[in-house]
Structure 1
């Protein structure tokens, strides 16, 4: 039986592996391979999740919201993603997958932010731009011409989106008040 801490660490590690797979896959010219590996990790998450149906709903909502926001920001010149030649959509597959991956953390590794919406906003304010900046530094995207505008826009969007996603996650999960073990073993918060 895994401890709650180890369960959260495994969830965070699975997310990071998926994030790097998507980012490095795009940067190195293998976006489909990176995306498929991350999708496999999402499937592993759903298999191990305490409530796969709830997790799938949160993943779907997060993915649709995130891709919509990224589409708007890309159209405004906040950033641009590296897109494989011949890809039929305006936004690459790996962006869909990264948003889906992010959703896998709300009930597990990031559970400590549940119900703490101001803290979640601060987390988004800092973490969102940092993640995009990291993706830019690794070669998967580019910020707009006005880098300060890009970073401020990302910070504001993420400061609003992160608490919203935690709120949606709480609405989808009737057991939000207790600890969710990643491996279906019932630890309770004390």
Structure 2
């Protein structure tokens, strides 16, 4: 690598991270605000478009990561509904009527994509304590924001802040697991593959 190519590499990296962050938060806002405004299917369309963009950029390997994320997300979100920590108003569910709704489940492959190489949350991989803190704070705040916006509902007889803390504790355990799952799959299952932007030999 020549000296002149290093600044170009940093510029491309910064651009990739910024685009990744914008897509993630844009997709999250589109899904949550769509549900909050009684247009969950519109929110689903927005988040699906962002997820598909990430899959196209990442190649077949990213499709595998997306599938794993969907399974984890469906199990986790269903558990929150079953435990009555979270519920969804009918206007936020969508035509299929599934709880958790499709737009919520699709947020999971979007999160998984941010852990790819040169994406906005890749720096959290391999840093377990940081992942615990990031997952606990970020997870709790995300659900609290969704509750405040009206896209989802917390337990009616419990202070919303307490419910957010409970969910945050769950995320403090779950986020490092997601990050380590991605790292394991990158290193062990897809070693040597160079599809998309995720891997290098």
Q: How does the TM-score come out when normalised to structure 1?
A: 0.85
CA contact under 8 A between 1:11 and 1:109: conserved in structure 2? Answer: yes
Residue 22 of structure 2, aligned match among 8, 13, 16:
13
Q: Could you say which structure has the greater relative contact order, defined with CA pairs below 8 angstroms and 6 or more residues apart?
A: 1
Q: What is the correspondence of 1:76-155 to structure 2 with a 5 Å cutoff?
A: 76-82=83-89, 83-84=92-93, 87-107=96-116, 108-144=119-155, 145-146=157-158, 147-155=160-168
How has the CA–CA distance of structure 1 residues 85 and 104 changed in structure 2, closer, same or farther, with 3 Å as cutoff? closer
Q: What is the correspondence of 1:30-109 to structure 2 with a 5 Å cutoff?
A: 30-49=39-58, 52-82=59-89, 83-84=92-93, 87-107=96-116, 108-109=119-120
Structure with the higher helix share, 1 or 2: 2
CA contact under 8 A between 1:106 and 1:169: conserved in structure 2? Answer: yes
Pairing 1:167–2:180 present: yes
Q: Which runs of 4+ in 1 moved over 6 A?
A: 185-188
Q: Distance in 2 between matches of 1:187 and 1:6?
A: 19
1:85 Cα deviation from its structure 2 partner: 6.3
Match of 2:34 in 1: 25
1:81 Cα deviation from its structure 2 partner: 2.0
CA contact under 8 A between 2:31 and 2:47: conserved in structure 1? Answer: yes
| Gaps in structure 2 of 5+ consecutive residues | 1-7, 189-195
Question: What do you get for the CA RMSD once the two structures are aligned?
Answer: 2.3
Q: Name the larger-Rg structure.
A: 2
| Gaps in structure 1 of 5+ consecutive residues | 176-182
1:137 Cα deviation from its structure 2 partner: 1.4
How has the CA–CA distance of structure 1 residues 21 and 186 changed in structure 2, closer, same or farther, with 3 Å as cutoff? same
